[in-house]
Amino acid sequence: MGTTRTFQAMLNDFLPNALLKEEMVKRDYLYKNIEKDDTWIGASGSTGNGGNLIVPFKGSGASSIAAGSLTASNDIAEDIYVRGQISTQPEIWGSMIFNQRDLMEHDKISEKNFLKLLPDSVDDFMDYMKNVVSVNLLNGKAFAKTTAASTSAAGLLVVDRPDRFVIGQKVNIDATSPASITAYVSVININTLTVTFVTARGGVTTTDFSANNVASAASIYNDGFSANGMSSLRDALLSSANGGSSTLYGQTKTTYPYLQAINISGATCTAANIVEQCFNAYTKTRLYGKGAPTDIVMSLTNLGYVMQVVEASKGAYNVKVGSSKASQYGWTEIEIGSVTNQSLKFVGVQEMDGDIIMFIDWRGLKFYSNGSFRKNKSPDGNEYYVVRATTGYQYIIDICLFGDLVVDRPSYMGIMYSIAIPAQ
């Protein structure tokens, strides 16, 4: 059998070109732009910056104003201060493995191809991990949903975002019996929006969905995210009636206006009226909210509809000169003015779901962590762990992120939900 070589199919061949690989699409808009605080240790029982993360807020201010006389001393409304908190610090782990035999035999192919493979792979994986976290922070713990019920014994599911799947990825799929199915991605068909799953890593036995009742709109999670993923902007801004959480930091949202973002239905939003709907929703957010959102964040699909409207309605809307730009990080933004001289920044983000549009005031967001993304170190200081098997040595690299998103001013923001614009 010999020792394991992952790249043995290439080792004895002449490779004049660099290793062919997919170019990573940046999907870390929220994480890149959000304010960060790396001082939350999060250790149980610790003091200072450790333990629970306290999120204090002013639930209500003084309001006793009377005409014709002073307010009675026993009838004066006091400021109400509330102590919110996050009691558990989420942990996200990413792991890579390399075979010693591959590293020993690098001289059989050009240095250009192999010596750069290891650092490039680690950097690519770090980018992928940031992508996974940013999708979680924006849209919630589930990274994709089914678009049709499945009774396929061949492991086939139709999904809304095949671009978020990776060959070999371990996922948890919502079902009825059992409640969650663990499976591994085997085949991805971007054009038919289908993904095929197998029951074990490296296996060929397809996952049998015929007896598990995987419904349409069933959630699909990265391994462990259903129970242990991070908080999300979607969950914080939406009311429980519209699919969000009923509480925030241990406090019921409906008890305090401070904890409530402005929710606007997007059920009547179409490709033709999307810009008008966004301006109306922004106005409502400013009218009833307490902040001043600067960015309207949406999917690239929805931004495409916005750009079509602007192109076809030059008299009603105008794109500010120099404001339209495509970022190397995977998002596109344009600033649109109307006949009233009010202008807003529309941002199309690759990792954003299409059923929501967010009106973000960046003052109301912060990511608290214990050092951001970093490689885990072994007790002897190495950034890898050695595992010995009969097939040779293997080196494992672990990357970790301990932290969570805090929406400490939800009332500063708004969210449009239930958007279902048919594909054009």
H-run or E-run covering 33: helix 29-33
Instruction: Note whether 318 and 169 are same-domain residues.
Output: no
- Looking at per-residue pLDDT, the higher value among 380 and 316 belongs to 380
Same domain for 220 and 117: no
- Has residue 197 got a pLDDT over 60? yes
220/355 same-domain check: no
Residue 127 lies in a domain: yes
Are 110 and 98 in the same domain?
yes
- Whether 358 shows a pLDDT value over 60: the answer reads yes
The confidence score (pLDDT) of residue 385 equals: 84
- pLDDT (mean) for 241-249: 95
Residue 230 to residue 234: CA distance in whole angstroms: 12
Mean pLDDT over 25-30 rounds to 74
Backbone angles phi, psi at 308, to 5 degrees: -65, -40
CA–CA separation, 81 vs 45, rounded Å? 25
306: containing domain: 24-56+85-138+230-424
pLDDT band at 199 (very low <50, low <70, confident <90, very high): very high
Q: Under a CB-based contact definition with an 8 Å cutoff, are residues 139 and 351 in contact?
A: yes
Tell me the whole-structure pTM to 2 decimals: 0.84
Confidence of residue 127 (pLDDT cuts 50, 70, 90): confident
- 196 found inside a domain: yes
Question: Do the Cβ atoms of 362 and 34 come closer than 8 Å?
Answer: yes
Quick check: 81 pLDDT over 60?
Answer: yes
**Mean of the per-residue pLDDT values of the chain:** 84
Q: Residues 368, 253: one domain? A: yes
Q: Is residue 215 part of a domain?
A: yes
Distance, CA of 18 to CA of 114 (rounded, Å): 9
Which of 186, 202, 228 is at the close of a domain?
228
Classify burial at 411, counting beta carbons within 10 Å of its beta carbon; exposed 0-12, middle 13-18, buried 19 or more.
buried
Asked whether residue 399 falls in the same domain as residue 254, the answer is yes
Same domain, yes or no, for 357 and 421?
Answer: yes
Burial class (CB in 10 A: 0-12, 13-18, 19+), 106: middle
Q: What is the CATH number of the domain that holds 203?
A: 2.40.30
Domain boundary among 178, 199, 228: 228
Query: Worst-scoring range by mean pLDDT, 22-26, 273-277, 406-410?
Result: 22-26
The number of distinct structural domains making up the chain is 2
Q: How confident is the model at residue 340 (pLDDT cuts 50, 70, 90)?
A: low
